[in-house]
Amino acid sequence: MAKKEDIIKKLNGQYFWDVDTSKMDPETSKRLIIERVFSLGDIKDMRRIIAYYGRKKVADELAKLNYLDPKTFNFVTVLFDKSKQDYKCYTPKRSIPQHWNS
């Protein structure tokens, strides 16, 4: 595992435009880091994250997220070979919307 500061410095700073990266700790901010890199990042940065945290930890953190955009969601289900139902953000959409019952 690389030094704490190294992983954040190696990532594109544009992923964290709203956060002071000098105050970020890779362990306490791992969910934010993983989410931003997989939603906004490229393959090179995704590989860095997997190498730093480990494949299982990254897959577990992604499964706990409340939201992933559809493109990222499909990508991570294939990448980590997990069922869509394993992800917290997965909710099947109804084909016919329900009307109010009042």
Look at residue 1 in the predicted model and tell me its pLDDT.
47
Q: What is the 8-class DSSP label of residue 90?
A: -
Tell me how far apart the alpha carbons of residues 92 and 85 are, in angstroms, rounded to a whole number: 9
Domain boundaries along the sequence of the chain: 4-86
pTM of the predicted model as reported, rounded to 2 decimal places: 0.80
Largest CA distance in the chain: 58
Asked whether residue 76 carries a pLDDT value surpassing 70, the answer given is yes
The predicted-structure confidence for 12-45, as pLDDT tens digits, reads as follows 888 888 988 888 888 888 999 999 999 999 999 9
Grade residue 101 by pLDDT with cuts at 50, 70 and 90: low
Buried b (16+ CB within 10 A) or exposed e, 47-76: ebbbebbeeeebbebbbebeebeeebbeeb
Contact 9, 2 (CB under 8 A): no
Asked whether residue 95 carries a pLDDT value surpassing 60, the answer given is yes
